[in-house]
Structure 1
Amino acid sequence: MGALPAIALTTGEPAGIGPELCLAVAARPWAARLVAVGPLEHLRETAARLGSQVKPVSVSTARPHRAGELQVLDIPLAVPTVPGRLDPRNAEAVLSTLRRAARGCLEGEFDGMVTAPVHKGVMNDAGYAFSGHTEFLGELAGGRPVMLLVSGELRVALATTHLPLRDVPAAITPEGLDVVLRGLHAGLRERFGITEPRILVAGLNPHAGESGHLGDEEIRVIAPTLQRLRAAGLSLEGPLPADTLFTPERLAGADAVLAMYHDQGLPVLKYAGFGRAVNITMGIPLLRTSVDHGTALDIAGRGRADPGSMAAALELAIEIAARTAASA
């Protein structure tokens, strides 16, 4: 590994805004060795369409980044794509970018990866059982992935990720919560340098179950699991009613919140910092950050995509990779 961290950028759904986000961040200087993993010719076409001055160039090994140049490990598309028009025939190429970047991280070629948004629907239309980057990378890398979104000082993790709401209660188990909370605790220490993380844990039901009158998952599953983990040394508070958990007074001094399901925690975080928040996957043996939004097919190819979240994700990946190297 060189002195500068090596970061892979996966270009995401080719019909979405991912390629132009990669071009946009490449226009800036970065203290890293950056390489995009994706379709070189499509990136060149996107740059030409947008009038971007960034030049995509083919490389086999990432060099120190130079503003205005985008180094690319080429993963060609199966068929040409049109902005805003999904084509399932390109799904395999998109998955290949993730496999290549993840393999590079696991083998020491890259210190981390930053992912542009993909489209889950077209992946499934192509025949792949794909529920998201988090789960896919967990299968590739091993471990139990934990989704954490970061906006400034607010960090929100999820006990369950991309599930229909009807499936959430059954998915909240003592074993699952134990793994997620231990992974979140370890990740806050290792990735963020927080020596003794303090985590607030939401209940599942309104009013955290109202002493069992509005649901008993807090009594049967969540509270006993937290008690066992406190005895093991984790600093946990909860289960807390989600509707008051995110007040400034409650959040003061907390390092992270664990929400029980996707739309319990993420609307609050995205309201606080949408377009600048970062998604980071904890609990797996590689560093992965990502944007806080989707493929934005409606504006793809128009030069209107805001690269703020992509830039924040890259900045956090570089920061964590540098911190990790310094402590090694």
Structure 2
Amino acid sequence: MEVVIAGAGAMGLLIGSYLAESGISVSFLTRREGQAIALRDHGVTRVQNDLESTFRVHAFSDLLLAPKNALWILAVKSKDLSDLVKQLEKSKSLGHLMFIQNGLRHYDLGRSTSIPSVSVASLTHGAGKIDDRTVSHNGVGMMSIAELKGSQRYSSQLSKANSPSFPILYQQDALQMLLKKALINCCINPLTTILELKNGDLLTNGPAHQLMEVIYDELATGYPEVLKTLPFSEVEVVCRKTADNRSSMLTDRYNGVPMEIDTIISAIVEGYEETMPTLKAFETLLKAIDEREDDA
């Protein structure tokens, strides 16, 4: 089985390391040829509990070099998705497309693309990129997968990589799965980014933990059915399992790149501004931080 991971950031490298470890043939599509060379020459290295493991992978920066009939995992930022999907739609040899982005904006894109076989995945692992070919696994979570359209025969083959350190779960309702992850993100990402805290600090910092509860209660007014299966204690579990991890939004802020405010927060708060005043205020504050740092 051939898997191409478009995007070699923290989560792309983490997924690739576990797939390659299981014996799946993994290729990375990178922005820079220098990163592709590093991955080709030295492999992808995963650091976990002070242990390093390295796995051979392929890598390229030219889309024309992609293997045929592969399963593509899109691990790029949400803002880059539309252009990449348009390029992939022109390729008649694409086997399957899998989105792994945070938030909800990619749901409609996945349903509307002309590519016939599409799935989405939600990940709660903690990961940090150390260099172009090295990733730190900072907390064991779950990779949940649900089909949007087409056959499950492609995505089901990823189960080969299922392990205690990288559990994989297949779900039936893609939208509910994405909503659940988005609500967890809304509880964690805004606070960690504004206060510049690691995920675990939300459990030990009293005022921050109180604010996380406030956000959760606000989310319950708009998404009561989803939160029936997502108690606040489960949000705390995610913080605990990824205690040493920086949220993706905080990482973006530190890296000086636009934060994914629209797909993570705005998509959730739309239509519920009056019943989610705290989350709405955080959305506005994050946009101000983004704009200020863009001007810096």
**Smaller-chain TM-score range?**
0.3 to 0.5
Larger Rg: 1
- Which protein has the bigger helix share? 2
TM-score scaled by length of structure 2 = 0.33
Task: Specify which structure has the bigger relative contact order, considering alpha-carbon pairs within 8 angstroms and separated by 6 or more residues.
Answer: 1
